[in-house]
Chain A
Amino acid sequence: MATAEKGVVLLDAWVSPFGQRCRIALAEKAVEYEYSEQNLADKSPLLLKVNPIHKKIPVLIHDGKPVCESLIIVQYIDEVWTKNPLLPSDPYERAKARFWADFVDKKVYECGTKLWKLKGEAQQEAKKEMIEILKLLEGELGDKKYFGGEIFGFVDVALVPFTAWFYAYETCANFSVEAECPKLVAWSKGCMERESVAKSLHDPHKVYEFVCFLKKKFGME
């Protein structure tokens, strides 16, 4: 596999919620691209070349030029392929959307990782924190169909991949997202009706299997 001079390539890893954000955005815009699964345990020369600073996926390579960081990639996709805009046109609404997407970035992944990595008291603390985070997000969603209102947008794309991790979080830390945040779960089901989302996310049981594999690998059983 080579980097096409013209065209779109996505360097990614199947389970990554950050990569899934990009896959969803590309699908929403009906962009044709080459998906390239990366082995993060043995990073390819291409990955190290296009993201020398962080050496992480996802990386979008468009006509040979790399874009890194999932939310930056999603904004790039939104600005280059302008049909079905993900960000609202009003500057204030855009600022709000960026704020909440950034909130998801700052909070959800790190706290989620604590849920499966930690045990006992520390895990209980992480669970409380996760419930708070999800409740804040649910508050922002309100009674809207999507975070973007009627339109599936930037915050929806930022958050929805993490919904495939809910089952893993719930099982590891013993709680129910639906019991705590029913509107958020209803929202995630609504998102799954979109082809872009359904095709990009993995079965939560598969994600849980992956988490169990990670736990074994890090000696956390």
Chain B
Amino acid sequence: MAGDQELKLLGLWGSPFVMRARIALNLKGVGYEFLEEVLGTKSELLLKSNPVYKKIPVLIHNGKPICESMIIVQYIDEVWATAGPSILPSDPYDRAIARFWAVYIDDKLFPSLRKIVLANADDEETAEAADQVIAGLQLLEEAFEKFSKGKDFFGGESVGCIDIALGCYVGWIKAAEKMAGVKLLDKEKLPLLMGWAERFCSADAVKELMPEVDKLVELGKVLRARLNAAATK
């Protein structure tokens, strides 16, 4: 079926969005060619495959590009439906809830997390951004209790949609903590999420993809410097 087909993933080391696609492909046991972009430049292939946003990840399946990380994850889930566990739940209501949280994570959690990573040491907005991340994680702690039903993941027995949507940020959350000296994943306040994060990071489909936090901190500093340089131009 989907066996001998050409599958490429355009990405960047360190991108949480690229990680989502890679986790999904791992869950389905699908082989692919990973084409690493160079930070600061965009390849011809990227510009051709994603002319609207010019961003990674882009999955190219038999020459046809699919863009936007959660759209890629759903695509992988649908094309390789019989390989490996379902990433999205089968019940329409559960699917709607999974999609809701994926959108929430990207719309609310990510911008605040990004602010913390890119903020300069004296930035006043960091504390507010940290509060927003913690508030978001608190909501997810409650959601985890509801959805996991005592099992290991948001998706139940196996890594699912919300696990992938949130889990890709775990490395960056830890990096942000180091960079800004704030506590975001507090064991006291978020005991369930802490346990979940450990299990997620050691899951088969994830462990080889989890970046080292110190390397992310270095990357964060590079990104911050580039942003500052651009701002002063």
Contact = CB atoms under 8 A, between A and B. Distances in A.
Interface stretch (B61-69, B160-168, B222-230): B61-69
A65 B99 CA distance: 15
Contact of A76 (B61, B92, B139): B92
B162 to A, nearest CB: 13
Interface string A78-95: 011000000000011011
B95 A79 contact: yes
A139 B157 CA distance: 43
B147 interface: no
B47 interface: no
A136 B51 CA distance: 10
A164 interface: no
A67 B55 CA distance: 30
A79 B93 CA distance: 9
A91 B99 contact: no
A50 interface: no
A67 B96 contact: yes
Contact of A94 (B64, B75, B95, B103): B75
Contacts of B104: 53
B75 A91 contact: yes
Interface stretch (A97-105, A117-125, A143-151): A97-105
Contact of A92 (B66, B93, B99): B66
Interface residues of A, number: 22
A65 B93 contact: yes
B90 to A, nearest CB: 10
Interface string B89-114: 00011011101100110000000000
Given A53-B139, A79-B95, A92-B61, A69 B71 contact: no
Interface in A120-143: 136
Contact of A95 (B52, B74, B97): B74
A102 B74 CA distance: 14
A67 B93 contact: yes
B64 A136 contact: no
B145 interface: no
A9 to B, nearest CB: 15
A69 B67 contact: no
Contacts, number: 54
A72 B52 contact: no
A102 B71 CA distance: 10
B95 A69 contact: no
B79 interface: yes
Contacts of A53: 104, 139
Contacts of A72: 96, 99-100, 103
B78 interface: yes
Given A53-B104, A99-B67, A94 B78 contact: yes
B96 A76 contact: yes
A103 B100 contact: no
B47 to A, nearest CB: 15
A38 interface: no
Nearest to B61: A92
A67 B97 CA distance: 7
Contact of A102 (B68, B75, B78, B96): B68
A95 B75 contact: yes
17 contacts: A53-B139, A67-B93, A67-B97, A69-B100, A72-B96, A72-B99, A73-B96, A76-B95, A76-B96, A80-B92, A92-B75, A95-B72, A95-B74, A96-B66, A98-B74, A102-B68, A103-B52
